[in-house]
Amino acid sequence: MIKKLSVIGLVAVLSLGCQSQGQVAQTPQPSPPKKSNGDLKAYKDVITPAAKSDEGLFTTHFVGDKLYFEIPTNIFEKDMLLVSRIAKVPSGFGGGYVNAGSKVNEQVVRWTRRGNNVDMKIISFENQSDEGSPIYQSVTANNFFPILYSTKVVALNPDSNAVVVEVNSLYENDIEAINGISSSLKKRYKVKKLDQSRSYIESAHSFPKNIEVKHLMTYEAEEPPERGQAGTISLLMNQSMVLLPDDKMQPRLADDRVGWFTIKKYNYDSEELKADDYEIIRRWRLEPKDVEAYKRGELVEPVKPIVYYLDPATPEKWRPYFKQGIEDWNVAFEAAGFKNAIIAKDPPTKEEDPDFSPEDVRYSVVRYVASTTRNAVGPSVTDPRTGEIIGSSIIWYHNHLRSYRNRYMIEAGAQNPSARTLNTPEAEIGEMMRMVIAHEIGHALGLPHNMKASAAYPTDSLRSAEFTQKYGLTPSIMDYARVNYVAQPEDKNVRYIRMMGPYDLYSINWGYRYLPGANTPLAEKPTLDKWILEKAGDPVYEFGGGYDGVDPQSQRESLGDDQVKASEYGLANLKKVVPNLVAWTSKDGYNYDDLGEVYGELTNLWRGYITHVITNVGGVYETQKTADQDGAVYEAVPRQKQKEAVQFLNNHAFSTPNWLLDQDLLTRIEATGAIERVQSLQTRSLNSLLDEKRLKRMVSNEQVSGNKAYTAVEMMDDLRKGIFSELYAGRKADAYRRNLQRSYIDAATGYVQKLKETESDGILKSDIIALMRGEMERLKRDINQRGNYVNDVLTRYHWKDLVARIDSGLRVEL
């Protein structure tokens, strides 16, 4: 939701934004008087007949190994976006998440002339003020633009309307703002310096709106990513300088109730006794060819559609699925009044477009990266003045196929026979790839993750063929909901793979619908607010990023509105999968590496189901609202739901997972390690449940909700009775349970030990230490009373050891 803004101040900045987008910090200065040509060389002596020249936005000249820019004087003071990408990268660089096509920086620059010097300045549009406002002078003085690069004018062109500068030092020096190795990677690889003898400019091309330069950078490194790299790291960088439009797109104000990537601004003309901050959304410029037909409600093609090319490296058999994933978004754009708004194309041949390059920011490309990385990403390039997206490179890593192959077997193998193989049928793996591409395209259109979407659907609806085939697994493709793990073996014809949903259509309409009658961002706001209020209260149209770990309805990878029930369904399926993994993953003549890999991922998914449940304990539902909407934004999870969550944890997380300890499987993949694996999983879950912030929320909620709250004392009581059930039943505790019980005492007494820490003032003054002391004293008393009833020597020793641990943990000298 937009923060409270001074209407007068914001109108001044934003209406100016449609003309000059708050030319904040520095008014373009007139060029100083030129020095006499006697100070410069003759053009023909610099740009000799041997020059290899390329005309465009400004002409590039190669003369030997020197690169010259011939910059027209009318380009000075123009805003240009400098986009730095890696064009080629050594194997293993960056741990697998840096690859050919990775963007390392984008920044607005202006070329300016200073006598016989030409400077490239970095420009910011974050702080804004109307040029006619007195405070504009202060904004200018306190937002001085740094000079990224400076060089000498060596000649004027024959018409004296352009200057010639040599720019080798821009591309052959280690300039942090455009290089491909971050400071953290330099430390990791112990980079010494850039070796200029092995760094050079490879090519330069000029086009009507952009300049593309490729340059090779070679660094001396003591520990390069792979040993065979001879103590060096070489990267081929691509630098795109794109002229930003004088005719700026009208910005659209962001609203927290609808998820968008945004750009933050500060308005210093505010009358609110502070600098008001607001945000604008990132989106492509879509304007109807026929405005009158658009007004009548007809579907109209945009003046400039969004076009994505496939990488020439994309395997032929996957291209149809990639193109479908791109063009799936046309359904959403139709909801916004546009037809054929997004187009997928095969890569052009050399004959069709000899200048085509995936690194050229003019082309939006779905890159296919030969890498063992298991991921896909959807970055874009944005004009920071207005939020206009001007280009994008979707990245699909080849080994992401492996992720979905494994995931499909683990989460759908119990229910779907076609998932019981590592050679997933092409139609199904292709459908998964299609939806991954659609998800990443969504990011490139401006949409962030909406982890709250999946909670809009009743959990049991995901077992319905009719429901899932019509509505999918979640209202938004931007949720993390990859495979339907809720469906059970008896559920027939359900959909297992995510797809686009109603929230996607709603958000695209909200962000992209053209509003011809609204000539300023503030004029658009009443219509945009009206659309949100029309959907208020319907969970299908709610947004939540899911990154704070507080709202159980807004979690990555979860499905349905009831996390306890969904995790029970998912766990029931895992229990059916484990006994079959040997048969499903084995291949005659090969070892059990695939079995070990899938089994490891299965245990991680089990941990994920547990995490979904833990979040309910001390959880808080968040529903974004503005001041004109009734009801609270934050509401504690009901007491009974939290209590059910702890019961689930006692039954399924903290009990010994015998189903996971299949000896026929384990003896094929490891000599030992099962106990340590389970201990690690259970300890992490226990520590998460006893997290300080969670306990503080529970204490706080008790003060607000009184006897309606699930209190921290009640939770600890339920947890103790579950984790120490052997003590209260007089039974033997196995090795897994003994480990868990020790972890419980370590976690509880660890809080008491924080009394020694002077920097832990926040917890020292909370109720948590008192709570843990009380629980440990209660447990010690129960062990002393009941510990000798069990008919197992090692268990009795264990109880005595726990008493000693409690005594030690509670002994703190201040």
Calpha distance 579→217 (Å, rounded): 52
pLDDT of 271: 64
**Is residue 169 a contact partner of residue 203, using CB atoms and an 8 Å limit?**
no
CB 638 within 8 A of CB 599: no
- pLDDT in the model for residue 2: 47
CB 694 within 8 A of CB 646: no
The CA distance from 144 to 739, in Å, is 60
- Quick one: three-class SS letters along 276-297? EEEEEECECCCCECCHHHHHCC
CA 628 to each of CA 4, 511, 609, 777, 797: distance values in angstroms, whole numbers, following the listed order: 12, 21, 37, 50, 63
CA angle 532, 533, 539 (to 5 degrees): 75
| CA atoms lying within 13 Å on the CB side of residue 37 | 11
pLDDT in tens, 265-320: 877 666 665 567 889 999 999 999 999 999 999 999 999 999 999 999 999 999 99
pLDDT the model gives residue 32: 47
Tally Cβ neighbours within 10 Å of residue 178: 22
| Residue ranges covered by each domain of the chain | 22-243, 291-561
Q: Residues of the chain whose pLDDT is less than 70?
A: 1-38, 96, 127-144, 227-229, 268-275, 758-764, 813-814
DSSP result, 666-731: HHHH-SS-HHHHHHHHHHHHHHHHT-HHHHHHHHHHHHHHGGGS--HHHHHHHHHHHHTHHHHHT-
- What is the spatial distance between Cα 442 and Cα 506, in angstroms, rounded to a whole number? 13
Write down the pLDDT at residue 19. Answer: 39
What confidence score (pLDDT) does residue 696 get? 94
Q: For CA atoms 805, 810, 813, 814, give the dihedral sign.
A: positive
Cβ atoms < 10 Å from Cβ of 28: 11
Distances 202 to 174, 219, 238, 542 between C-alpha atoms, Å:
16, 16, 10, 50
What letter would DSSP give residue 316? G
DSSP 32: P
The rounded distance, in Å, linking the Cα atoms of 138 and 146 is 17
